[in-house]
Amino acid sequence: MFFRDVSFSPHEAELRFRLIHFWEARNLNTKELIGQEMLLIDEEGTVIQGFITAGQVGMYKLTSGSVYKLSNFFGSRSKVQFRVADHRATISFSWNSDLKVLENHPVPILEDRFRFHSYEEFHANCDRRVDLYDYVGHMKLVNGQTITDHTALDEVDIAEKRHLCVHVQTHDGPVMKLYLWDNAASEFCQKFISYGRTPTVLLVTTVNPKHLGGTLALASMASSRVFMDTDVQPTKDYLAWLSYNLDIANKITAEVVTKPEPVTLEELYSYIKQETTKVAWFECTATIDDIVQSSSWYYISCGGCNSKAIKGPTSLICNNKKCVKREVTGVPQYLTKIDVYDKSEQAVFAILGDVGKELTGKHASELVAKCFESNEGLGADHPVPVPQALLDTIGHTHKFIVKVSDHNLTGKTQTITVTKILPPEAPLAIAHLEEGTTPAVSDDVLKGVGDEPGPSTSFEHSAGDRVRKSSERLESLEAKRSKSG
């Protein structure tokens, strides 16, 4: 029997097919195993989905790419959601199913078959949770990094977050965000590194089109597989097209790729409340109403990695366990909360690191040093008041690029992190748009946005003698206090 003849009923006939791929099906909420799903292709090139119940998982030795013969099975109706094949039926294994490897099959069976769809078709099926299609294109960005000959992946960070984001463009079509999760993310890293050079073409199977961050995006599923440059024929064909059409491939720049969706504050909070919400970046136009003065407006960072520096027995030490510096020189960085509003809602934004300079035009270290210079009798323990440069921003309207982070999604804080402040009427800059120019601060600094940090004590900055001298005076005071206490 061929797949085209399978109907909704029990069958004793024999099927011959190649096993393309198999994966576990689990309950999204409880993670309980439902069964094992398969993608099968027969001699005629027809693709159908297979299914083994949870109680039978492990009874059959399955190997992707092998050819099998199966007798005694049930033709069940194909599921409505997340289908991976066009056939209306599913091959369901029953209690008396007999599966055997077929050696030296005389009729060749294709190794794979893909279902590619256009941007318009993905858009039409967005958030419907119906068919899962395959997507192929050339990569523009990987986790915000432009694809170059020297693009490197942070495998540790990807493993910790269990996902990565790739911006992919098909021919001259729109660039789409492709989120790879769990096994797909791991497979991407392995293939990306194994090439020994930077691959350019990416094919991901069975992706789910959905709205993330206000725009259409594609997300991998448990059934997804990852292929690159020369892995399969479609990627080879695309790579050949790309080599002759670089002008078309390079038409869309990274500014267009990474431009965040403009939203109001009300829409921003509405997005955070959604169940399917993921980390995302948005553009918000808001007016500064006040500088929050219930907590310090800056923190002391490690001069090496910009993580929070804490007081050790005799000197400052970095709070980031990955930092190689044992003794660090403290550098003041912005950690300022501002009240903002627009026509729809009010919010609290956090200004971190160099983003504060975009707001005031001055480094945090310069403002701290100026405060101590103008207050000669000020002790090292004395908290530095909010400087006039920050107070002067009250009443001004800006375009903020903000990040909805994991801290917002888990409810740890409602404070929204600003990653960039756009200059008036200026085109959107490419450099560090998603990560902004915010220093790579550790989680304890970001969590501290919602808390009240203690007074800062010691720092140094290389920008000018005035800052250096003030820093040296404070460090001397801190050293004396450590010895006496």
465 confidence band (pLDDT: 50, 70, 90)? very low
Helices (runs of H) and strands (runs of E) counted in the chain: 13, 21
pLDDT of 55 higher than 80: yes
pLDDT of 39 higher than 90: yes
Percent of the residues in the chain that have a pLDDT greater than 70, as a whole number:
81
Question: 244: which residues sit within 8 A by CB, 6+ positions away?
Answer: none
| Encoded tokens for 288 | 């500064």
3-state SS of the chain: helix, strand, coil percent to 5?
25, 35, 40
Q: Is pLDDT larger for residue 101 or for residue 329?
A: 101
pLDDT of 395 higher than 90: yes
455 confidence band (pLDDT: 50, 70, 90)? very low
379 confidence band (pLDDT: 50, 70, 90)? low
How much is the pLDDT for 211? 78
Whole-angstrom CA distances from 183 to 20, 197, 285, 445 are 17, 22, 38, 31
pLDDT of 468 higher than 70: no
How much is the pLDDT for 323? 67
Question: 122: which residues sit within 8 A by CB, 6+ positions away?
Answer: 133, 135, 176, 209, 216, 218
259 confidence band (pLDDT: 50, 70, 90)? confident
Given the candidates 2.40.50.140, 3.20.20.70, 1.10.1270.20, 2.40.70.10, the CATH classification of the domain at 3-101 is 2.40.50.140
pLDDT of 400 higher than 50: yes
CA 303 to chain centre: 27
Q: Which stretch of 142-151, 196-205, 292-301 has the lowest confidence by average pLDDT?
A: 142-151
Rounded Cα distance, 432 and 254, in Å: 11
Rounded Cα distance, 364 and 453, in Å: 16
pLDDT of 106 higher than 90: no
Query: Closest Cα to residue 131, out of 186, 201, 208?
Result: 208
How much is the pLDDT for 456? 37
Rounded Cα distance, 184 and 205, in Å: 10
Alpha-carbon torsion 215, 220, 225, 229, what sign?
Answer: positive
Note the pLDDT tens digit of each residue in 162-212: 889 999 999 888 888 899 999 999 999 999 988 878 899 999 999 999 877
Q: Please give the DSSP secondary-structure letter assigned to residue 191.
A: H
How much is the pLDDT for 220? 94
Q: Is pLDDT larger for residue 62 or for residue 30?
A: 62
pLDDT of 288 higher than 50: yes
Rounded Cα distance, 169 and 423, in Å: 29
Mean per-residue pLDDT, 405-418: 86
Rounded Cα distance, 369 and 363, in Å: 10
Q: Is pLDDT larger for residue 460 or for residue 223?
A: 223
> Which amino acid does the sequence have at 62?
L
Q: What is the CATH number of domain 261-484?
A: 2.40.50.140
| Encoded tokens for 63 | 């190997």
CA 413 to chain centre: 20
Q: How far apart are the first and last CA of the chain?
A: 86
DSSP 234-299: HHHHHHHHHHH-HHHHTSS-HHHHTPPEE--HHHHHHHHHSTT---EEEEEEEEEEEE--SS-SEE
- Does 119-255 match 3-101 at the fold level? yes
Q: Is pLDDT larger for residue 64 or for residue 273?
A: 64
pLDDT of 213 higher than 80: no
DSSP 441-468: --HHHHHGGGS-PPPP------S-HHHH
Which residue, chain included where needed, has tokens 């980390």? Answer: 279
Which residue, chain included where needed, has tokens 């009923």? Answer: 9
Q: Which residues pair with 202 in a beta bridge?
A: 137, 228
* Mean pLDDT value across the chain: 81
Q: What is the CATH number of domain 119-255?
A: 2.40.50.140
453 confidence band (pLDDT: 50, 70, 90)? very low
Q: Is the pTM of this model over 0.75?
A: no
Whole-angstrom CA distances from 90 to 7, 68, 76, 86, 174 are 9, 16, 5, 10, 34
In the chain, domain spans: 3-101, 119-255, 261-484
